[in-house]
Chains A and B, each alone.
Chain A
Amino acid sequence: MSYLDLTIAEIHRALLEKKVTPLELTKEALERAKANKENAFETICEKEALEFAATLTEPEEDNLLWGIPYVAKDNFSTKGIETTASSNILNGYVPLFDATVIKKLREKKAILIAKTTLDELAMGGSGTTGHKGITYNPYDPEHKHQIGGSSCGSAVCVAAGIVPFALGSDTGDSVRKPASYGGLVGMKPTWGRISRYGLFPFAPSLDHVAYFTRSAEDSAIVLQALAGRDEYDSTSSFKPVEDYSSKLGESLKGKRIAVIQEILDSISNKELLDAFRKSVEAMKAAGACVDYVHFPLDLLKSIYATYIVISSAEATSNNANLDGIKFGPFRGGKTYQEVMFNARTQGFSELIKRRFVIGSFALMSENQQELFIRAQRNRAKIVEATNNILKEYDAILAPASPKTAPVLGSSSSDKLSNEYLIADNFMAIGNFAGLPSVTVPLTFIDGLPIGVNFTSKAFDEAGLFSIIQAYEDITGLKGISTNVRKEAKL
């Protein structure tokens, strides 16, 4: 155990009391990173991190992120640090500018120690498709299980106690799903709350900057640093940033929580359902009003198809800039068509090409009405049904995944089953509607963690943090990491 296994708030106190220095923290984080066996890193920024940490000598009392090491998914633009989005097409690409969130964290004097692996270009949910291969679940030293994706490397870093928080991105559930498989708090705030400037776009209408922590309180602290209008992102909100810790410590008394019955119905794992129901009873006992509500089944079953059509369509356009002409490996060619063809043929994996074909097909004028426009309309229906529930409830609650982390190489579940279509994919609702949505640990099953997901009204992040903090008290899983669990024998 080290300070790195503590929460941000706890590390901050230790820094203020000078029990530890940013340089010591950074050195240890780097050591842990280098010793890590889960294939979580694209680039370890040892030199830059140590240099920056050495400059941090006077603790800043009100700045909770002062001297705190963190990592960022390798799809955030970092000036002077190679950024590949785990795709061969961007090998060697060194950005000229920092993403707004990277800049903000630097201003807060948080220390970036590494860029982490992801599913190639953030398209995928398994953590297995990046150009560096599979990223493993740190709760399984035998490396038989996924950590999930696409923000796989960032999830590993927080779960394994390398850093107390990590940046990721969430287009379908790319932070909230690995948070479930990694026993983490995975937060995606309202669309527009955090600037996306410098986040490599996958599907901008669904893309969110999101992040991992190990507690509700830390989640509030990190959002406090990241939130706000950014003139470089015209879609960022002008709404003033509120105090995200203001509601921490509130009890569940009077909170109205909706559990969507159809999601539970689609789940087969008894242990999960039992643990979930127990936590619901505990919430009720703590004063929450929890109702089982209905959501049109057809709409729930259509989430995945809707997501694939919209996200692939946007993705094919957003990644059209990767043509081998301006940056990334140049693969030669006699004409511009050949240059592009060679760069893209060799630069993208089959999985990515498949998505581009789907996206392009959906946008073709003869298909657009039937696929892309129809998916947009369906998205609007799903959003409306969700907002209708949130008119009467503070949050919607469901297990964040139907199972613990999948076994690597196992044939994936039946993709037409309700369990896959609904329980494994419903979290995209949060992206469709741009609502704050967070995964928080529920329990461990056979040594692997699994979480639940809460989704609240737009811009009600503070309310959401208070609910998940109370939920932490119920599960007792605040601050869990592989090291903490090993020592506490939880």
Chain B
Amino acid sequence: MNFEAIIGLEIHVEMKTKSKMFSASPNSFSRDPNTEVTVLDMAYPGAMPRPNKQAVINAIRVANALHMTIDQDVYFDRKNYFYADLPKGFQITQQFRPIGSHGYLDVLDKEGNTKRIKIERIHMEEDTCKQLHFADYSLLDYNRAGVPLIEIVSEPDIRSGTEAMHYVEAIRNIVVYSQTSDGKMEEGSLRCDVNISLRPYGSNKFGTKVEIKNINSLKNIEQALDYEIQRQSACILSGIPIQQETRRFDEASGKTVLMRVKTDAVDYKYFCEPNIAPIHLSDEFVKNAIDTCPELYDAKKERYLKAGLSDKDAEIILSNIDMAAYFEKAIEGAKSVKTVANFLIVEVNGYLNKQGCPITEFPLQAKDLTEISNMQEDGFTHKQCADIFNYCLENEGTSPADAKAALKIEKQISDDGAVLEFVTAVLDANPQSIEDFKAGKDRAIGFLIGQVMKMAKGKVNPAAVAKVMNIEIRKR
């Protein structure tokens, strides 16, 4: 590679507040078109904006998680332009005084080293309405008009598709775990626009910037940028100038495709929104917003690792906030966090995958999983506990204790003295196997353990048998 990629990201996050950014209209995404609309959302003359308190709280929480300076005087501005999806003819945003500025995030770069990405700003604004285009007409759905957004703008500190992907992933984790947003890229509740230019290594100048809009998955961020770096390198090397243009990522071909060449930038004629009185946030308000922020991804992960989970297991659980919430409940009163995690990752996930349902529809309560995990800690085998688990699923409403009784599951003998009796009897009855073992046939010991299990009708603990057998056989 001859060139250094200079990448900056703009991320829009739809907040899942109860009402919209500046109106009392509900904000629930799931209704029929144009049913969640008030006079402000359709810009009826005389309607006035009222800032959403929860949106401000969310923005403070995210700003704090991104190590930003919080502006305790909240101002809004107007961004003026005409467009079919913009009911008022302007968008209310925070151009001049964003609620957060000068932050950073540490992410892993391509080589796996920690790298600090500076973040320029986070600000609040409102979404536009949704357009549906048909052959000779278009429809407008104002349900989305006025949905609260936060926009997070990075400095051009990112150097590769991998870094960009890790950065977006980290931001997604923050907005999801602070319960600001559901952060679903594929559904558009987290939208990512990328600016990228190349320059020769060692150069201080910036090359021509290309924008890639609306990339809809983490993987596509990496792919789109990797492709774009290649494309631009090839252009430069063959003397084709890079145009200032907007592109989109085509998932099928794995390529970026030209949308439009940028002409003169639009002049948005920003000015301070005169219909919203500036709001001063007290120290107490800001502190309270931060203190009451739900536990974030990184803090949870650290806690899970301390409790003995592997990095991979922690990430699997945290990959889904509902799964993490279920896990949190299940580890209350659990004797081993790790055992709960194993059940969740293997048995519960197995069931969910098979049924194709989300964890929120999983029939067993978290406390049932706690109880089943604790049974394993109390000496029942994993197999026995898994049988109980399955019985509970097949007979909905059955408690793990009742399932155990119904399956007549009893605890295996693991007491060394009791096990020794069986082992001695089996060794006495199988001298040939002892000879084989001494001749170096390791398989013989497996046969002997099997004989013990058979004799004890499965009621002894195989691990205890193996331990005693290993000692006793050597005494012969």
Known A-B contacts A320-B88, A320-B89, A365-B267; A325 and B275 likewise in contact (beta carbons under 8 Å): no
Whether B39 contacts A90 by the Cβ 8 Å rule is no
A459–B238 Cα distance when bound, in Å, is 71
Contact (Cβ within 8 A) B39 A235: no
A325–B47 alpha-carbon span in the complex (Å): 17
Does A95 touch B at the CB level, under 8 Å? yes
- In angstroms, Cα B275 to Cα A200, docked, is 12
Q: Are A320 and B90 in contact (CB under 8 A)?
A: yes
Instruction: Tell me which residues across on chain A come within 8 A of B80, comparing CB atoms.
Output: 316-317, 320, 363
Task: Report the Cα distance A161→B82, complex, angstroms.
Answer: 44
**Contact call A321/B89, Cβ cutoff below 8 A:** yes
Contact A317 B48 (CB under 8 A): no
Give the Cβ gap from B281 to chain A, nearest Cβ, in Å. 15
Query: Are A233 and B48 neighbours in the complex by a CB distance under 8 Å?
Result: yes
Q: Is A336 touching B46 in the complex (CB atoms < 8 A)?
A: no
Q: Is A198 an interface residue (CB 8 A)?
A: yes
The one of A76, A322, A336 that contacts B138, using a Cβ cutoff of 8 Å:
A336
Contact B50 A231 (CB under 8 A): yes
| Residue contact A85 to B45, C-beta cutoff 8 Å | yes
If the complex has contacts A234-B51, A320-B80, A336-B138, are A97 and B44 also in contact, measured as CB distance less than 8 A?
Answer: yes
Residues of A close to B83: CB separation below 8 A: 336
Contacts of B267 in A (CB 8 A): 364-365
Contact B50 A90 (CB under 8 A): no
**Is the CB–CB distance between B46 and A200 below 8 Å?**
yes
Within 8 A of A (CB), among B60-114: 78, 80, 82-84, 87-90
Contacts of A342 in B (CB 8 A): none
- Do residues B45 and A235 form an inter-chain contact, with CB atoms below 8 A? no
Bound CA–CA A326/B45 (angstroms): 11
B469 to chain A, nearest CB (A): 79
Given the contacts A235-B275, A235-B276, A323 and B45 also touching, CB distance less than 8 Å: no
Residues of chain B at interface, number, CB under 8 A: 29
Per the 8 Å Cβ criterion, residues 280-330 of A in contact with B are 313-314, 316-317, 319-323, 325-327
* Known contacts A201-B45, A234-B49, A321 near B269 by CB under 8 Å: no
Instruction: Say if the beta carbon of A429 comes within 8 Å of chain B.
Output: no
Residue of A nearest to B49 (CB): A234
CB distance from A236 to the nearest CB of B (A): 8
Contact status B269-A368, CB under 8 Å: yes
User: In this assembly, does B42 line the interface, its C-beta being within 8 Å of a C-beta of chain A?
Assistant: yes
Tell me, rounded to whole Å, the shortest Cβ–Cβ distance linking A78 to chain B.
10
Set of chain B residues within 8 Å of A199, measured between Cβ atoms:
46
Contact between chains at A317 and B277 (CB < 8 Å): no
Query: Which residue of the partner chain, among B44, B46, B50, B271, contacts A317 with CB atoms under 8 Å?
Result: B271
Residues of A within 8 A of B50 (CB): 231-232, 234
Check: B434 CB closer than 8 A to any chain A CB.
Answer: no
Residues A234 and B45 in contact in the complex (CB < 8 Å), given A96-B39, A320-B82: no
B275 in contact with A363 (CB, 8 Å): no
B417 within 8 A of A: no
**Chain A interfacial residues counted at CB < 8 A:** 48
A197 touches B276 (CB 8 A): no
Tell whether B274 is near chain A: CB-to-CB under 8 Å.
Answer: yes
- Interface-central residue, B44, B51, B80, B276, by most chain A CB under 10 Å: B44
Asked if A115 lies at the interface with its beta carbon under 8 angstroms from chain B, I say: no
Q: Which residues of A contact B82 (CB under 8 A)?
A: 320, 323, 337, 340
> Given A231-B50, A326-B87, A363-B269, are A321 and B45 neighbors across the interface (CB < 8 Å)?
yes
B43 within 8 A of A: yes
**Interface status of B140 (Cβ within 8 A of chain A):** yes
Q: Which one of A192, A234, A363 contacts B271 once the chains associate, using CB atoms below 8 Å?
A: A363
Complex: chain A residue closest to B275, CB-CB: A204
Find out whether the CB atom of B276 lies under 8 angstroms from the CB atom of A326: no
Inter-subunit contact B275/A321 (CB<8 Å): no
Instruction: Output the least CB separation between A396 and chain B (Å).
Output: 25
CB pair B271–A313 under 8 Å, yes or no, is yes
Q: Does A39 contact B (CB under 8 A)?
A: no
Please, which residues of chain B bring their CB within 8 A of the CB of A99?
46
A368 to B270 CA separation, bound complex (whole angstroms): 9
Q: Chain A contacts of B47 at CB under 8 A? A: 97, 197-198
Provide the A52-87 mask, 1 if CB < 8 A to any CB of B, else 0.
Answer: 000000000000000000000001110000010100
The yes or no answer to A145 lying at the interface (CB within 8 A) is: no
Give 1 or 0 for each of A172-209: 1 = CB within 8 Å of chain B CB: 00000000000000000000100011111101110000
- Cα(A363)–Cα(B274), bound, Å: 15
A232–B49 CA distance with the chains assembled, in angstroms: 8
Q: Are A321 and B87 in contact (CB under 8 A)?
A: yes
The answer to whether A426 has its CB under 8 Å from any CB of chain B is: no
Q: Would you call A437 an interface residue if the criterion is a C-beta within 8 Å of the partner chain's C-beta atoms?
A: no
Please name all residues of chain A whose beta carbon is closer than 8 Å to the beta carbon of B48 when the two chains form the complex.
196-197, 232-234
- Residues from chain A with Cβ under 8 Å of B46 in the complex: 75-77, 95, 97, 99, 196-201
Q: Tell me the minimal C-beta distance from A75 to chain B in angstroms.
A: 8
Which residues does chain B contribute within 8 Å of A372, judged by CB atoms?
A: 271
A374-396 vs B: 1/0 string, CB under 8 Å?
A: 00000000000000000000000
Which residues in A have their C-beta under 8 angstroms from that of B42?
326-327
Distance between Cα atoms of A231 and B90 in the complex (Å): 23
Residues of A within 8 A of B84 (CB): 325, 336, 339
Is A360 interfacial (CB 8 A cutoff)? yes
The CA of A337 and the CA of B46, in the complex, are separated in Å by 24
Q: Which residues of the other chain, B, contact A322 by a CB distance below 8 angstroms?
A: 45
Known: A232-B50, A320-B90, A336-B84. A360 touches B269 (CB 8 A): yes
In whole Å, how far is B144's beta carbon from the nearest beta carbon of chain A? Answer: 15
Residues of B with C-beta under 8 A to A360: 269
Using known A-B contacts A234-B275, A235-B277, determine if residue A317 contacts B45 with beta carbons closer than 8 Å. Answer: no
Encode B250-265 as 1/0 by CB contact (under 8 A) with A.
Answer: 0000000000000000
- Inter-chain contact B44/A77, CB cutoff 8 Å: yes
In the assembled complex, the CB of A341 is this many whole angstroms from the nearest CB of chain B, namely 9
Q: Are B45 and A77 in contact (CB under 8 A)?
A: yes
Nearest-neighbor residue (CB-CB) of A365 within chain B: B267
Q: Nearest chain-B residue to A366 (Cβ)?
A: B267
A85 shortest CB reach to chain B, Å: 7
Report how far A316 CA is from B51 CA in the complex, Å. 23
Interface residues of B in 163-220 (CB under 8 A from A): none
CB within 8 A of A314: which of B43, B51, B274, B277? Answer: B274
Specify which chain A residues have a CB less than 8 angstroms from the CB of B269 in the assembled complex. Answer: 317, 360, 363-365, 368
Interface centre among A93, A196, A232 (most CB of B within 10 A): A232
**Most A-side CB within 10 Å, residue of B49, B89, B269:** B269
Mark out the residues of chain B between 265 and 286 whose CB falls within 8 Å of any chain A CB in the assembled complex. Answer: 267, 269, 271, 274-277
Q: Which residues of A contact B90 (CB under 8 A)?
A: 317, 320
Measured between beta carbons, the chain A residues less than 8 angstroms from B43 are: 321, 326
Among B50, B80, B87, B89, the one with the most A-chain Cβ atoms within 10 Å of its Cβ is B89
- B83 (CB) vs chain A CBs: closest residue: A336
Contact partners of A320 in chain B: CB under 8 A = 80, 82, 88-90
Residues on A with C-beta less than 8 A from B140 are 325
Q: How many Å lie between the Cα of A252 and that of B273 in the bound state?
A: 41
List 6 additional contacts besides A320-B89, A365-B269; criterion CB under 8 Å. A93-B45, A197-B46, A234-B51, A314-B271, A320-B90, A327-B42
The 5 closest A-B pairs by CB, nearest first: A320-B89, A336-B84, A363-B269, A321-B43, A204-B274
Instruction: List 24 A-B pairs, Cβ < 8 Å.
Output: A76-B46, A77-B44, A95-B39, A96-B39, A96-B44, A97-B44, A197-B46, A198-B46, A203-B274, A204-B275, A234-B50, A235-B277, A317-B80, A317-B269, A320-B88, A320-B89, A321-B44, A321-B45, A326-B43, A336-B84, A364-B269, A365-B267, A368-B269, A368-B271
